[in-house]
Structure 1
Amino acid sequence: MEIFGLPFPVLMGQIVVGLVNGCFYAVLSLGLAVIFGMLNIVNFVHGAIYMLGALLAWLLLDKLGVTYWYSLIIVPLLIGAVGCVLERTMLRRLYRIDHVFGILLTLGLAYIIEGLARYWFGAAGMAFSAPSQFAGTFDMGFMRLPKYRVWVIVISLAVCLSTWALIERTRLGSYLRAATENPAIARTFGINVSVLVTLTYGLGVALAGFAGVLAAPIYQVSPIMGSSLIIVVFAVVVIGGMGSILGSILTGLLLGLVEGVTRAYWPEASAVVIFIVMILVLILRPSGLFGKE
């Protein structure tokens, strides 16, 4: 069976690959949307944090024997704690001044983290095996679907929806929004704005660390694994609408599928199709598909 001249199993294989990539785009862009939408910081260190998450998972396994399952919990907590320290010591000083200072600071931090990782581990990739529970594939008749990729899709969607529900549908989320949208009024209601702002940034970078752990068994763990991905993720955030949490999730998944289908029919264009979509969206709707005018 062929669809527009392409065998159906080949097309489905690329769609699955695109969906997996889309899950990473969704989780990473969600973290960026949380940080920008609530703190107004363009967090260019996000790609380096994603790489750091994968690298920490590899180190925990290789040096301490900590399994993948424990890394899924430990690494985001460690990354979130580091993010809280960064917010307290550096980013807090930039909230009331021009965006460019935040961009320069986070970009500089990204280069420092990547440079240190290159110095200590080199530029070569390091293998990280998937858990034994996900060895093998599911036989779907027309194709074999790796079990680990199914796990990535399921857990990514669960984390994205849980984060959205936390921020938009819970009392804690309402406190977070109040603390960042109107801190003066929030303080009059006894809300500790300083702590909530710190936790918000910690949550955003913890999502990047979580994505890094998920990515480690699929892509080789390398100091440069986040540098190219972050540009694509920023494009996803722009298309979805800067600061739109649900928009980032949906746009990340959708653009992953678009990239997968493009790779099936026109491989040469798959690396730029997201940026073409971004240009069209900026021309027709500068605020993004889900952003506010």
Structure 2
Amino acid sequence: MGDLVGIPLQVLFGQLLIGLINGAFYAVLSLGLAVIFGLLNIINFAHGAIYTVGAFVAWMLLEYLGVNYWGALILAPVIVGVLGMVLERTIIQRIYRMDHLYGLLLTFGLALMIEGGLRQAYGVSGLPYNMPPELSGGVNLGFMYLPWYRAWVVVAALILCVAIWFGIERTKLGATLRAATENPSLAKAFGINVPRLITLVYGLGVGLAGIAGVLAAPIYQVNPLMGSNLIVVVFAVVVIGGMGSISGAIVSGFALGVVEGLTKVFYPPASNLVIFLFMAVILLVRPAGLFGRNS
């Protein structure tokens, strides 16, 4: 087995794979945050809790209804998206005209309520969720062992991110969404139902978190704390990519996951700090983020 600066290639590529997997979750969650902030101007701190809800919904579908992983991958984001739309229509819409701080405090409170309810009902030990049999096992590439499920997570996240980017940036529906959120008065004059579109956008954003929760369940188990452990890092990724930037969320999510993985190889003590160090540097050099636009 070869090595790079005294580090076995198997270790290096293994950490690269872990970095890509983490980056996949960073990208999908950051994408949902970017959609909500970019189109609705809401800092959704409940996003991590919604990610947790997605994992729990998948577990409940299997445990109580016998719905397998593939069914949950479709149903769980829909259920989470509907839940998000109900929250938007009943609570979130009340703070659209207020300062960003009110949205942050409100969604942070929602996150605490969701996490507390799940902890009370299921504890914090974690619930197992088996990966689908079709994706069990893996392949030996010679320099590393590649589990099929982890490869699937990376590919699924890439497909999802590209599809959402294309839908928002390159389609007529995406143009309508941007018009309805950037200039609602003009959009209403053209007969567009702006409140309905805003609700759908929020549902899409939290639905992405639900998908990430289902993808994560077989890897990290289903735990009420899984979202709170991730949300701060995801916000840092969003800031680095540019608040509200769809492409920034995708690129920075995958890239920073890989950087974090490589840091664990070359200097492990800095692996938990490297993303925040990047964020500090970016805020000093380019406050709007790598892909963001200055106000």
TM-score range, shorter chain: over 0.9
1:59 to partner: Cα distance? 1.2
Indicate yes or no: 2:151 matched with 1:112: no
Indicate yes or no: 2:162 matched with 1:161: yes
CA distance in 2, matches of 1:264, 1:60: 38
1:241 to partner: Cα distance? 0.3
CA distance in 2, matches of 1:95, 1:32: 16
Q: Deviations over 1:33-90 (max 9, x none)?
A: 0000000000000000000101111111112211000000000000000111111111
Greater mean deviation of Cα atoms: 159-168 or 57-66: 57-66
1:171 to partner: Cα distance? 0.9
User: Secondary structure, in 3 states, of the residue corresponding to 1:239?
Assistant: helix
Q: Which amino acid aligns with 2:135?
A: F
User: Secondary structure, in 3 states, of the residue corresponding to 1:145?
Assistant: strand
Aligned to 1:48: 49
What is the TM-score of this pair, normalised by structure 2?
0.98
Aligned to 1:200: 201
Q: Which amino acid aligns with 1:254?
A: A
Q: Which amino acid aligns with 1:189?
A: F
Moved over 4 A (4+): none
Indicate yes or no: 2:192 matched with 1:182: no
CA distance in 2, matches of 1:199, 1:41: 14
Aligned to 1:221: 222
Aligned to 2:70: 69
1:228 to partner: Cα distance? 1.5
Aligned to 2:22: 21
Aligned to 1:292: 293
1:141 to partner: Cα distance? 1.3
User: Secondary structure, in 3 states, of the residue corresponding to 1:289?
Assistant: coil
Greater mean deviation of Cα atoms: 133-142 or 11-20: 133-142
Q: Deviations over 1:185-237 (max 9, x none)?
A: 11111111111000000000000000000000000210001002000000000
Write the mapping of 1:261-276 to structure 2, written as runs, cut at 5 A.
261-276=262-277
Unaligned residue ranges in structure 2 (runs of 5+): none
Unaligned residue ranges in structure 1 (runs of 5+): none
What is the TM-score of this pair, normalised by structure 1?
0.99
User: Secondary structure, in 3 states, of the residue corresponding to 1:228?
Assistant: helix
Aligned to 1:237: 238
Greater mean deviation of Cα atoms: 268-277 or 208-217: 268-277
Aligned to 1:58: 59
CA distance in 1, matches of 2:195, 2:88: 10
User: Secondary structure, in 3 states, of the residue corresponding to 1:138?
Assistant: strand
1:268 to partner: Cα distance? 1.6
Aligned to 1:98: 99
Aligned to 1:142: 143
1:143 to partner: Cα distance? 1.1
CA distance in 2, matches of 1:271, 1:126: 25
Aligned length: 293
CA distance in 2, matches of 1:257, 1:4: 19
Q: Deviations over 1:161-192 (max 9, x none)?
A: 00011101111111100000000111111111
Aligned to 2:210: 209
CA distance in 1, matches of 2:149, 2:63: 20
Q: Alpha carbon RMSD of aligned pairs, Å? A: 0.6
User: Secondary structure, in 3 states, of the residue corresponding to 1:17?
Assistant: helix
CA distance in 2, matches of 1:228, 1:60: 24
Q: Deviations over 1:9-48 (max 9, x none)?
A: 1100000000000000000000000000000000000000
User: Secondary structure, in 3 states, of the residue corresponding to 2:146?
Assistant: strand
User: Secondary structure, in 3 states, of the residue corresponding to 1:216?
Assistant: helix
Greater mean deviation of Cα atoms: 253-262 or 84-93: 84-93
